[in-house]
Amino acid sequence: MLFVKKAGCASLLLWWSNRANLRGKGLALKRKREVLRLFFQKDIETMNRRDLEALQLERLKHIVDYCYNNVPFYHERLRQAGVTGDKIKTLSDVQYIPCTTKDDIRDNYPFQMLAQPMKKIVRIHASSGTTGKPTVGVYTRRDIENWSDQVARVAVGGGATEGDIIQIAFGYGLFTGALGLHYGLEKLGATVIPASSGNTAKQLMMFRDFGVTGLVATPSYALYLGEAMKEAGYPMEQYKLRIGLLGSETCTPEMRTQIENSMGIFVSDNYGMTELGGPGVSGECGLRCGLHFAEDHFLPEIIDPDTLEHKAPGEAGELVVTTLTREGMPVLRYRTKDITRLNYEPCACGRTHVRMEKCMGRTDDMLIIKGVNVFPTQIESVLVGMENVGPHYQLVVRRRNFMDNLEVKVELLNGDLLENYRALEALQKSVHDRLKSVLGLETRVTLVEPKSLERFQGKAKRILDLRNQPEE
């Protein structure tokens, strides 16, 4: 295992400590020079493509037989498909393995998909289960070690070092995000503050009093913390924040810029889900040109969500992932429902593992309005940064005359505009026209008072679906 070199770490910390440089024009070039030095496991993260794919093939063969022999659900699925480890000759043969869905995992709730006896399980996590039974994730001791390594890689890629003090504002508990980042950052050697979510005033107090240099949170909560910092009235010099390791929900480039400007930090994105073991599946480096997959632990594919056919590299589709090293609860070809694309070109940072583009949306978050596919991220990219409107919004879907209609509620930055009908009308038209240009769809735009829309400490819930209610 190769940790961050001390010399590179010290120079990076010295540079980052000067927060005035964060918004300077020379930031991008400086970051590109520095990020090339930052690796957690350089021998793995820069492995040449041929060796990496040989390792994946070996592990794919093993995990197929492991699932066949230890998980009754997979034994029957693989038997019916006629797939065993010795029949996997190339990585492309993964296509002959049946996909696994969230419903499969829920149907086998809670422990029917375990590959190890309970006495070997040291941790249990689960999703919120807001739309049914929760999705359960279990971990052996080796799973926890691998998970910590994966998260440490993501943290280092985002600029974290052993000299950082990182405040985790994820909710602790069954959610994988908080403890996942916690263990990974401790393995790196960083100081961790398990603040959990909520109690925003106390979060800001710890920022100032504890000399916090890094934040772990959802983008929605980071956005809210940035607002709260401004309202608290303390000079920015009292904050030492420099990086944000954000995850658990999609963060558009526009929202990222808003967070960076309000908090004075450099933000990186990371990706994971309970079904795959939590965060650490992929994460951005300082160049932010895609999220580097931990390909020694996961085999990603892109498929057409309707036909299930493979997409070519660079084509957008649904992300499907096979866990290659997970012992407690491995999954074969898990359909994530996330829409993205993969780039197999080596990154300028030196990492060779495939990069996934930021998720464009989820197939289950996609709205179909009058035949047009609409993702909340498309709307967010239009609204965030627009003059006179804030980054908080809500999408309300109703059915009128047997047709779905979309209302976009947008917060004003200045409540005085509500008294100026002409300015309000002009702003409403501007938002409407920009949305129509991007979506190709008519929407109803409603401008609402500042701070009237809900703030979120966890994942943001932007869609209010009223289609099952009687028409007004």
Angle between helices 219-232 and 200-209 (to 10 degrees): 70
Q: Are 450 and 413 in contact (CB under 8 A)?
A: yes
**Per-residue DSSP letter, 305:** T
Integer Cα distance of 425 and 130 in angstroms:
38
- 92 pLDDT exceeds 50? yes
User: Could you report the per-residue pLDDT of 244-290, keeping only the tens digit for each?
Assistant: 999 988 788 888 999 999 999 999 999 999 999 999 999 999 999 99
Does this model's pTM top 0.95? no
Integer Cα distance of 278 and 127 in angstroms:
10
Please confirm whether the linkage preceding 194 is cis (ω < 30° from 0).
no
Q: Could you give the angle at the alpha carbon of 225 between the alpha carbons of 220 and 231, nearest 5°? A: 135
Q: Tell me which CATH code domain 367-465 carries.
A: 3.30.300.30
Half-sphere exposure of 111 (CA within 13 A, CB side): 12
Mean of all residue pLDDT scores within the chain = 88
pLDDT of residue 10: 33
Long-range pairs, 85-93, Cβ under 8 A, ≥24: 85/60, 85/61, 86/61, 88/57, 88/60, 88/61, 88/64, 90/57, 91/53, 91/56, 91/57, 91/60, 91/299, 92/310
pLDDT of residue 16: 40
pLDDT of residue 420: 86
% of the chain exceeding 70 in pLDDT: 89
pLDDT of residue 455: 81
pLDDT of residue 12: 37
Spatial CB neighbours of 267, under 8 Å, sequence gap ≥ 6: 219, 222, 243, 244, 246, 251, 256, 259, 260
Integer Cα distance of 58 and 64 in angstroms:
10
> CA dihedral defined by 209, 210, 215, 220, rounded to 10 degrees?
-30
More confident residue, 356 or 451: 356
Structure-token pair, residue 357:
């583009």
Q: Tell me which CATH code domain 6-47+141-360 carries.
A: 3.40.50.12780
Amino acid sitting at position 8:
G
Q: Where are the domains of the chain?
A: 6-47+141-360, 367-465
User: Could you report the per-residue pLDDT of 154-165, keeping only the tens digit for each?
Assistant: 999 999 999 999
User: Could you report the per-residue pLDDT of 320-374, keeping only the tens digit for each?
Assistant: 999 999 999 999 999 999 999 999 999 999 999 999 999 887 776 777 787 677 8
When mean pLDDT is compared over 30-39, 53-62, 218-227, the highest value belongs to 53-62
pLDDT of residue 183: 97
